[in-house]
Chain A
Amino acid sequence: MRIHVTIGGTRRGAVGMDEAEFDEFYASSLRRLTGQLYAMIGNHDEAQECVQEAFVRAWARRGLLDRRDGNPEAWVRVTAHRLAVSRWRRSATARRHRISPDRALAVCGVGEEPSETHVALVAALAKLPEEQRRAIVLHHIADLSVEQVARETGAPEGTVKARLSRGRTALAALLADDPGTEEVRL
């Protein structure tokens, strides 16, 4: 799988999506991407909102999303994560300036409740340093190779391997201490 995050610059030969392709892409990857972002940021509602917003932006830039050999899913994931960080920053700004909370942070709709195991896993992931958590989610949940994780996070491969190793060790300890995940005790 190759990753081309070419938004902002046109890559020669890129072939944009049409409506049917976008709809199929959305239907097939929304749930997966929402789960991945939820594992990264620890908020299920916000994860889905950010992923949906990333799809909006993807469609707005569809001419640059290469459906042939690019990886639009990686672009949506990166954009959604960036939006989540941006929202965090924005809500921090709102607190700083004592303005009302971000309208876009409002939670709407009721969907599936994550299982206790999922909640426990997300809680354990949330205790890891950001870089380790992101590496683990991308490698183990999104099933990216170390090379792909390195490319998506902008870190050297060696650094990614170290983050994965430390993150897994820490995660194992955290899960072993959590009664909600007895079934995965080592």
Chain B
Amino acid sequence: MNDIDELLRGFDPGLASPPPAAADLRSRGDRMRRRRRGVAVALAAAVVAAVAVPFALAGHGRDATPVGPGPSVTPSPTVVTRPGRVPDNFPLAAGWPAAGGTGEDARVVSAPSRTRPPLSAEACGRTVAAVGGIRDRVNTTFDSISSHRGREVRIYRSEVAAARAMQSLRAVFAECPSEHTDVPTPYLTTVRRWAVTGFAAWEAIRDYGANGYPGLDIFQVVRDGRALLIQTFSDEGGGADTVAAAVSRSARRPLAALARLRE
């Protein structure tokens, strides 16, 4: 064993590439610090606005994140509906951070697409897109250094088909409360009602990292008649309920627009 001790103690493979100057790292750290402070100010403003503007809450079952399109949401007057088709200007990316930045600060919002693969429920080796009986769908994605978001709005041929799709997606998570992968701790999944006023909705919260290595995936689905809105979120995690609430709030405009697609 002594040889192993020596081998381990002498482990010094060097650097993989020439290291950046400390001043460069400090400069990036300063930018990060300024950005964080900017976000903190923006959040504070948002909290004030949220307190000042009441919005509809679900009246019962406060086990999930209450959110609603309700009276506080300014409807999208420019959303022109055509039966069976998602309007081209549906506010899919509304509420997301704006695109911009470069390098590791880059935030990329993809153009709405009808051909990008559908957002799918994935857990315990199962992948379900539930696109049977669909008439139209559009999705978009957001990517930054640490997070990925997706939104997809769908219109099904019938309300029954939409409800069935919603149930199929839910089953993937409901049947997978715990999943072992090659990350240090297992994924733990909670499926719960997503309290969105006036809609049928649920959300799956998947997180791992009991020992300080958090990861968080959120999958939210809301239905209004034949229309379905799916929202996904992946990031480093920590504070799942708080993050889920913020993700929910970000969807107010798409939710308001969804109500116009129900028929």
The interface of chain A, by Cβ under 8 A from chain B, is 19, 22-23, 26-27, 30-32, 34-35, 38-39, 44-45, 47-48, 52-53, 55-62, 78, 81-82, 85-86, 88-90, 92-94, 96-99, 102-104, 107-112, 114-115, 117-118, 121-122, 130-131, 136, 140-141, 143, 153-155, 168, 171-172, 175, 181, 183-186
Contact = CB atoms under 8 A, between A and B. Distances in A.
Residue among B32, B33, B119, B213 with max Cβ neighbours from chain A (10 Å): B213
Contacts of B17: 45, 48, 107-111
Contacts of A61: 33
- How many chain B residues sit at the interface, stated as a range, is 35 or more
B150 A186 contact: no
B183 A60 contact: no
A92 B123 CA distance: 13
A154 B16 contact: no
B144 to A, nearest CB: 10
Nearest to A184: B3
A99 B143 contact: yes
14 contacts: A22-B22, A23-B22, A26-B25, A30-B19, A48-B16, A52-B19, A52-B25, A89-B215, A103-B103, A112-B15, A131-B184, A172-B1, A175-B4, A185-B3
Residue among A35, A58, A60 with max Cβ neighbours from chain B (10 Å): A60
B149 to A, nearest CB: 10
Contacts of A108: 17
A48 B19 contact: yes
A60 B33 CA distance: 5
Contacts of B141: 97, 99
Contacts of B234: 89-90, 93
B29 A140 contact: no
